[in-house]
Amino acid sequence: MRTLIYEYKQSLRSLREMKTAIESKVELTELDMQDKTLINSMISEIEFAIQWMVSGRNPDARRGADRTGAYTLDPKLIEAVVPNRAVMEEGKITADEQWLLDDVLGDLTVREKDVFTLVRAEGLSFEYTAELLGVTKSSVQTYLERAQRKIEERKNGSLFLVS
């Protein structure tokens, strides 16, 4: 699944580059306008698909169970954030655990969260994570160090995160 998400993100990047190339033209022809409309539509669809794959649920869902997403998060992520906490084997987390994760991970950038999840929760190597995200191995290490520092600062500064 991570490889598929990575490929979708690469496609999204390419589409945005195409859109920028069209927008940089001085005069847009009718064909350019049609291309731009089509590319905008493709960007929207790919962003929706990526968001669905990352979150594990329909981004447009309005029901309470769909919005909370308590049934979608990998419990290994809880163990990576709060290592002394016992994690249930069936893979579901409570609303309190979801809130804790959202609180701790809320300060991280998207890239830091991706790196932290891939390396600490999924157990991937720095090299494979770098390949998936299209960055260098040292960048993965830097993102991970930043994420861990932010998590520690958040844990030390929060009244709700006592480990």
Q: What is the pLDDT of residues 40-85, one digit of tens each?
A: 999 999 988 888 887 776 777 665 544 444 444 555 565 666 555 4
Q: What is the pLDDT of residues 4-25, one digit of tens each?
A: 888 888 999 999 999 999 999 9
Is the pTM higher than 0.75? The answer reads: no
Number of domains in the chain: 2
How many angstroms separate the CA atoms of 25 and 20, rounded?
9
Q: What is the mean pLDDT of residues 108-137?
A: 87
Q: What CATH number corresponds to the domain at position 102?
A: 1.10.10.10
Query: What confidence tier does 163 reach under pLDDT thresholds 50, 70, 90?
Result: very low
Residues 100 and 152 in one domain: yes
- Our CA dihedral for 64, 65, 69, 71, rounded to 10 degrees, sits at 160
Question: Which pLDDT score is estimated for 92?
Answer: 58
Residue span of the structural domain in which 39 resides: 1-55
